[in-house]
Structure 1
């Protein structure tokens, strides 16, 4: 009897310890205005987690997640970051916006932990503003502006441009930075004027007066703004009889705001993928269907996509590193050059944890209906010194 008991004890000791789950901490806005951006991207990240788990997990372990609400508040962001660390997070996902995601990301950086901004498009949401273990899952705003400059020049023969900047947030400035960098490099181009406004301005009448005072209507207006200010500006520009092609960034992707601008035409944005079922890459529509299955509706904008991308890239880096160690995973992420994802290739380096070039789908609104009309990759990456300007 004693021998049997001893044999059983030895057998138990010889069994490998069961691996614990890997924990992803979401320190994101679940309330406040930023929730509209964070929730779709976080949902997309969780869809990728579920896919990874269904295929055997990561390093042979399942991935779970914990969450803390930043309430779209900077101080609460720092507390949320500390909370998910206390709950055992092995990596951290933070809010789409740099200003509101950085306090949580800095908590991760202190721990030497990899953090990913869900969809931040300011270069500071990474090495430059947080530290060496911080990344973003999205494409820089400057790339969006540069894409609009080069595409409109090549495909719509744009030679004159007017820059209208909403100075409210850094994202808007990034879009205009990219346009200002790229457009003057192109043959026969000229920026014929520029102006500013604030997102909550009730009227941009004085700015419109200055556009109408130009000797000729500009070929394009580079409007660097977001909803609701962007919708108001577009409505006023068209009501004034200005027919220039209006360009913007990805922040105004989606049809949810078009009731404010009935029968709008000549409005173009670059996006990472089309939510409208017409993306040329079947993987994008596969994701749209998966998102609808998970939530009951298709993505309202392309800002869901970076969440899926970041989780895919992080998991690949973990598998290659063979560990969750932040430094080792960062090193693998920085080796990625043209890494394939469902939304196009992605690259990182020791100098930049963002995309300073990417294939963008071109969405044009005609008679109130958005549709993918083209795709474009800028001919040269946006230089780091431009991004830091």
Structure 2
């Protein structure tokens, strides 16, 4: 059924007119308007594969509302214009849910198409508040956790668990995601300063910068090396920044966001240590939840490879929470499903609880596992949940 027909059906239903079934009553359709080629494929493909695992589980258990879930796909080719076309394509194929790219900029065109059609969309793993109500509309959600939560959580954890007292902020200005990490850090720092912490300096760089020598010089000019550097960055420039910091003899604890999860880049910084990131679950075989280990095994059996980073997991969560909302609503109709999603408070999922409200279709708090890289080997060393959620004014900064 085309998205125009769905709009007509919604309009007629709103004035109380009965309509015959316009779609296949035997199936429910999930459309993936994601990158099957190009740069975004590295993020979208693993999340899509995790979402497919959840769909297969639901189908094996009898389906959703007693119906099997079928999947339709369209390739955004990691291009914004193609993203809009991909969104329209899966809508024309009858999508009841549209899964869009992990990044807000790349996923928004397809999500906006779904919003216009009156269909729920989920960004598989976007962590900007714009990937939801604020940037798309009330039918849009994300399966992941906001970037400001990551920055705030790592600062609070380092202060309370590692006794870090002096902090230095180093922001990569390339993406909204990077800025979001530091926004959360900025919100947390005054609270820590009241308890004895101190921000001893801050600086910026660009992801494509071949050298951050000037920034390193300013760090080394401090009276003492900071206990922790809040490095708000992501691939690929994040690898270069970490390598240069360590090559310059700066041994401070480096804190980062989830975007640096994964062991695939560690050979570029041999024997890296004292490097910490927050993750929703561990890909390293040491997650304290045995169900996560089972999922990792299932993922490898399906794909032939271990999960590459924690961004695999939000794809599973997106389908999981949407399907629960559909069951509770007794329909795939968007407004009813959104109403059930917005009732979710600490909803259990395999990768941590989820809460949605009428103001925020993201997570303002989350339980994170903390991964440390020690002599080139990553592993879980603790877990942390913020003492309070990040407020909207910090999220929308």
TM-score, normalised via structure 1 length = 0.95
Distance 1:180 1:287 in 2: 35
Distance 1:184 1:232 in 2: 30
Distance 2:395 2:260 in 1: 21
The reply on whether 1:183 has 2:179 as its aligned counterpart is no
Secondary structure of 1:193 counterpart? strand
The reply on whether 1:84 has 2:90 as its aligned counterpart is yes
Aligned to 1:95: 101
Aligned to 1:134: 140
User: Structure 2 regions of 5+ residues with no counterpart?
Assistant: 1-22
Secondary structure of 1:353 counterpart? coil
Residues 1:160 and 1:55: Cα distance change in structure 2 (over 3 Å)? same
Within a 5 Å distance, the mapping from 1:113-132 to structure 2 comes to 113-132=119-138
Within a 5 Å distance, the mapping from 1:248-267 to structure 2 comes to 248-267=256-275
Of 72, 80, 85, which residue of structure 2 is paired with 1:74? 80
The reply on whether 1:39 has 2:45 as its aligned counterpart is yes
User: Structure 1 regions of 5+ residues with no counterpart?
Assistant: 1-16
The reply on whether 1:218 has 2:226 as its aligned counterpart is yes
Q: Is the 8 Å Cα contact of residues 272 and 361 (structure 1) preserved in structure 2?
A: yes
Q: Is the 8 Å Cα contact of residues 184 and 191 (structure 1) preserved in structure 2?
A: no
Shift of 1:18: 8.4
Secondary structure of 1:79 counterpart? helix
Aligned to 2:327: 319
Of 292, 298, 321, which residue of structure 2 is paired with 1:284? 292
Aligned residues: CA RMSD? 1.0
Aligned to 2:342: 334
Shift of 1:180: 1.1
Distance 1:85 1:18 in 2: 14
Of 380, 390, 397, which residue of structure 2 is paired with 1:382? 390
Within a 5 Å distance, the mapping from 1:335-350 to structure 2 comes to 335-350=343-358
Distance 1:167 1:177 in 2: 12
Distance 1:102 1:18 in 2: 28
Secondary structure of 1:53 counterpart? helix
Of 158, 165, 168, which residue of structure 2 is paired with 1:159? 165
Within a 5 Å distance, the mapping from 1:298-313 to structure 2 comes to 298-313=306-321
Deviating beyond 3 angstroms after TM superposition, the runs of 4 or more aligned structure 1 residues are none
Query: Quick check: which has more Rg, 1 or 2?
Result: 1
Aligned to 2:65: 59
TM-score, normalised via structure 2 length = 0.93
Secondary structure of 1:221 counterpart? strand
Shift of 1:142: 0.5
Count of matched residue pairs: 373
Shift of 1:184: 2.2
